[in-house]
Amino acid sequence: MEYREIGTTGIRISEIGFGCGGNAGLMVRGTPSEQRDTIARAIELGINYFDNSPDYGDGAAETNLGRALRELHVHPFLNTKVEIRAENLDDIAGHVVRSVDASLERLGVDYVDVLQIHNAPVDPAPKLEGRVYARIHVEDYLRPDGALEGLERVVRQGKARAIGFICRGDGIGPVRRLLDEGVFDILNVSYHLMNPTPAYPKPRGLDVTDWEEVIVEAELSGAGVAIYSPLNSGALTDSAVAGNPSHPLATVRRAADSPEAQRLREQSASFNFLSRPGEQTLAQATYRFILGTSGVTTVLGGFSEVGQMEELVQASGAGPLSDEDMARVEMIWRANLGVGMS
C-alpha cells in the first residue's frame, strides 16, 4: 500500500480507503463478524483511512465501525460527515457541533481526523424538504452561524483535525468560492472511467455531467481529493459487465433487465479491453486510472466482502494506465461510450 498526504495537513492516508457507505452494504447490513474480519484484513493490507457518515444506515455504519475497531484495538484515520436538512437551517453551526458529538459517541472516539459537510455547495439555493440533504446554498456555508463556522468550532474543540465538503457535479463556481477561503483540506468527488470531467476537459462527443475539472481546482488550492463511487456504483467490474447479480449485501439501484441497466452494461463493456485475465481486472484498471490522476489523494472503495478489497488493493503502486490504453480510453470518450454506434 502507498500513502498520500491530505493537502498540507501532515495526515498521510492509504491511497485506497475504506468507504463505509450503504451501497456496498457491509457496514450497514453485514454481520458483526463479517465487518470485523473485513476491517482486520483492511488494516493488514495497509488501509488506514475509513470514510463514514451518520447517514450510512442512520448511524449504523458508525456504530458498527466503532465496535469493530475497539475489538481489534486499532485506531486508523477516521472521517465522518454532517448532513444539513431543512430543520437545521436556523442553526447550522450548532447542528454541526451536535452531529459530531453524536458521531463520536457512536464511533467510540474523542475526535475524528476529517470532518466534512455532506451537502454539496450550490448556487442558487436548493429547496430542502424532509430528509433531503444532498445540497445547500453556498451562502449557508459562509454566513454567520453557517456550516464553516460549525466546522471551525469543532476543530477548536479538538474534535476534528481537518475539514472538507462533498461535490456532486453542480458547477465549479460555489466550489471555487469555498476553496478560496483557504481553510478546506479535502473534497470528496465522484470520478471514474465513464466520466473523466472532474480531471479532464469534457471530451468532444461525450454526453455526461461536466464536473469542470474540480480535481484540478482542488489541487491548485492545496486541498486533497477523495474519490467516491470509483466503479460507478459497481458498473465498472467484470461481474457487472457479464450481467451477474450484485452482491447480496449491496444496494440494487435498478432492475437488471431495465433499459437503463442494459445501457449501462453496454457502456461499461466499452472498457472491456482493460480486463486481461491473469494481469488485471476491469475494476483494478479503473483504480489505476484514478490513482494515476494528479491531485487524487485516495480512492474510497465500497467493499461488500474481503475478496473485493483484496482485488482492489493490488492497484496501489501498480502505476497509471499505459499511454496506449489511455489513447483507446480517449477514443471511447469521444464515441460517447459507444452509445448509438454499431
- Identify which has the larger pLDDT, 22 or 176: 176
Q: What are phi and psi of 219, to 5 degrees?
A: -60, -40
With CA atoms as reference, report the closest residue to 329 among 190, 191, 195, 189: 195
Alpha-carbon span 108 to 103, nearest angstrom = 8
pLDDT at 257: 73
Q: Which amino acid is at 244?
A: N
Long-range Cβ contact pairs of 55-58 (< 8 A, separation 24 or more): 55/81, 55/83, 55/118, 55/133, 56/20, 56/21, 56/22, 56/27, 56/28, 57/22, 57/27, 57/28, 57/29
CA distances from 308 to 24, 26, 68, 124, 337 (A): 10, 12, 19, 40, 25
Domain boundary assignment for the chain: 3-233+243-253+290-321
Cell representation of residue 331: 477514443
The confidence band for 252, taking pLDDT boundaries of 50, 70 and 90, is confident
**Mean pLDDT on 230-236:** 95
Alpha-carbon span 311 to 234, nearest angstrom = 14
Interval 262-281: pLDDT, tens: 899 999 999 999 999 999 99
**Mean pLDDT on 237-257:** 85
Please, which residues have CB within 8 angstroms of residue 244's CB and are 6 or more apart in sequence? none
**Residues 75, 69 contacting (CB under 8 angstroms):** yes
For the chain, what is the mean pLDDT? Answer: 96
* Angle, CA of 37, 11 and 9, to the nearest 5°: 155
Give the H/E segment covering residue 311.
helix 306-312
Alpha-carbon span 151 to 116, nearest angstrom = 8
Residue 121: is its pLDDT beyond 90?
A: yes
User: Strands, DSSP E only, in 153-281?
Assistant: 160-166, 186-190, 224-228
Q: Is the dihedral of CA 119, 120, 122, 128 positive or negative?
A: negative
Give the H/E segment covering residue 13.
strand 12-14
CATH of domain 3-233+243-253+290-321: 3.20.20.100
With CA atoms as reference, report the closest residue to 116 among 223, 241, 267: 223
Provide DSSP, 69-81: HHHHT---EEEEE
Please, which residues have CB within 8 angstroms of residue 291's CB and are 6 or more apart in sequence? 15, 299, 315, 316, 318, 320
Indicate yes or no: pTM above 0.85: yes
Residue 97: is its pLDDT beyond 90?
A: yes
Relative orientation angle of helices 172-179 and 214-221, to the nearest 10 degrees: 10
Residue 239: is its pLDDT beyond 60?
A: yes
3-state secondary structure of 130: coil
Alpha-carbon span 83 to 128, nearest angstrom = 12
Cell representation of residue 241: 459487465
Residue 145: is its pLDDT beyond 70?
A: yes
**Residues 192, 230 contacting (CB under 8 angstroms):** yes
